[in-house]
Amino acid sequence: MSELSLRDATAADAPGIAELYAHYVLNTTVTFEEDVVPAEEFVRRIGAVHDAALPWLVATQDGKVVGYAYATPWRPRSAYRFSVEVTVYVADSARGQGYGRALYSALFDRLRVRGLHAVLGGITLPNDASIALHEAMGMTKVAHLPEVGFKFGRWLDVGYWHRLL
């Protein structure tokens, strides 16, 4: 197997991102989206992140998207301009291989260079693997919101993790 490659996402990555994400939409509660997101929507989302001067990274191996991470503005008010929410997804078949950590490390480096100050990550609870990743990246739990999401016939909690860059 070839080495993992990390780079900025482009519109050409949208089909691979959509395929990877569909697993989480259809089979898990880690995302609150309930309908599969088409590649065209990912083209729009990638563009919106880049338009906000924020990074969207993809991890590829043997030409296939095996993970991605990006940042979005935390809130629209100007005083929040130095804070972002971060997201990472890794292909189900590639979990536990350090790809999430590699993506977040590269993402946090790019955010730091851009002068960002705080990162926040929302996690549907329970999710031991995601909690472990976020805490390994130096993030700490700062909020717990009970029953704010409803998917697959049940109420779901969300926790927020935070770190200063």
CA–chain centroid gap for 56, Å, is: 9
Tell me the residue range of the domain where 99 lies: 5-164
pLDDT tens across 30-49, in order? 999 999 999 999 999 999 99
133 with 96: CB under 8 angstroms?
no
Q: How far is Cα 63 from Cα 3, in angstroms, rounded to an integer?
A: 10
Q: How far is Cα 76 from Cα 3, in angstroms, rounded to an integer?
A: 38
Per the structure, how many domains does the chain have? Answer: 1
CA–chain centroid gap for 81, Å, is: 19
Q: How far is Cα 110 from Cα 129, in angstroms, rounded to an integer?
A: 24
CATH classification at residue 67: 3.40.630.30
Global pTM?
A: 0.95
Both tokens assigned to 99 = 């790809």
Identify any residues that bridge with 73 across adjacent strands, giving them in sequence order. 84
pLDDT tens across 80-127, in order? 999 999 999 999 888 888 999 999 999 999 999 999 999 999 999 999
CA–chain centroid gap for 114, Å, is: 18
